[in-house]
Amino acid sequence: MNNKRPDSMERITTSELAKKFIDEQIAEIKAQVGDKKVLLALSGGVDSSVVAALLIKAIGKQLVCVHVNHGLMRKGESEQVIEVFKNQLDANLIYIDATDRFLDLLAGVSEPEKKRKIIGGEFIKVFDEEAGKLEGISFLAQGTIYPDILESDGVKAHHNVGGLPEDMQFELVEPVRLLFKDEVRVVGKELGLPASMVDRQPFPGPGLGVRCLGAITRDRLNALREADAILREEFDKNGLNKTVWQYFIAVPDMKSVGVKDDKRYEGWPAIIRAINTTDAMSATIEEIPYELLHHITKRITSEVEGINRVLYDLTPKPVGTIEWE
């Protein structure tokens, strides 16, 4: 497989160029796969979604997508994967709700790297078990993109929960391996994927697991998911989704005293992080209008069970990393 982007390869910026790329890839995929079956771990992230849409177009039901819900997805994400791929694109999609497996394993674990290892390891196990139940799979499709190849110093491999076991005996299908992220998005749009999917901000593989700080509990994870959904909704409504690179909520494992409905109300703080960056190596803090911060604070503290304060993280990277864990 060619893993070097030719110098002559034009940057895909327009619908016409995307169409041309899609047609070429469909022919290439058909030639590679023939009438065999292909397996894909579909996280719902930009890269795997675009690969899924391309393969569905090329080989239809010969593609088997497996979506593992590790219980650490943002609100509505797994539902969107099912809606887009199963209901709209009629894909051969296996949905596995492995929430209990992951949360049971994570119970009481507070060390960030240990949490990452558990989530990554369990993901491979669940996917492997599912792959073992299927018959006649010859190929494994992956959403590898060009920066993954350029950075093949292991950074992404370590980062990505979707990283699969090396001993899997499948030939790889990696149709977007020579593309940069912005090109993957243009191709995704041309394939008809919704903007909320192709324009998604980066989301770490371990998901909300590294934002529910310390040992994860179901009630605090739930509060985090609801608060995060409100933040996203308000950023979307106010156009900040177009100007802010990454924004999310982290909820630490500590409570403070508050008052709600005239009664003492102990709750967790929701910490807002909203940063801008080009490469995630360093980051600046976005100026969010105070009025909007007040509005978000009001919504989160009144709508989310368990949260009684909202804080805004003003720390650039360095010194702070983007994620809290």
CB of 321 to ligand XMP, least distance (A): 4
Q: Coil, strand or helix: which one is 266? A: coil
C-alpha–C-alpha distance, residues 142 and 136, integer Å: 18
**Residue 44 interacts with ligand XMP (CB under 6 A)?**
no
**Residue 280 interacts with ligand XMP (CB under 6 A)?**
yes
Residue 57 C-alpha from the chain's centroid? 23
Scanning residues 117 to 156, which ones bind ligand XMP (CB under 6 A)?
none
Residue that has been written with the tokens 């690969």 in this structure: 51
Handedness of CA 291, 295, 301, 302 (dihedral sign): positive
DSSP structure class, residue 254: -
Residue 263: Cβ-neighbour burial (10 angstroms; 0-12, 13-18, 19+) = exposed
- Give the x-and-dash track for 188-207 against ligand XMP (CB under 6 A): --------------x-xxx-
Q: Tell me which stretch binds ligand XMP (CB under 6 A): 88-96, 136-144, 164-172, 316-324.
A: 316-324
- Give the x-and-dash track for 233-272 against ligand XMP (CB under 6 A): -------------x--------------------------
Size of the site for ligand XMP (CB under 6 A): 13
**Residue 38 interacts with ligand XMP (CB under 6 A)?**
no
CB of 281 to ligand XMP, least distance (A): 8
Residue closer to ligand XMP by CB (options 120, 188) is: 120
**Residue 256 corresponds to which amino acid?**
S
Q: Are 164 and 124 in contact (CB under 8 A)?
A: yes
Q: Tell me which stretch binds ligand XMP (CB under 6 A): 52-60, 147-155, 212-220, 315-323.
A: 315-323
Neighbours of 274 (CB within 10 A): 21
DSSP structure class, residue 176: T
CB of 118 to ligand XMP, least distance (A): 12
- Give per-residue burial for 33-53: e unless 16+ CB within 10 Å, then b: beeebbbbbbbbbbbbbbbbb
Query: Which residues of this chain interact with ligand XMP, rule CB under 6 A?
Result: 116, 159-160, 202, 204-206, 246, 280, 317, 321-323
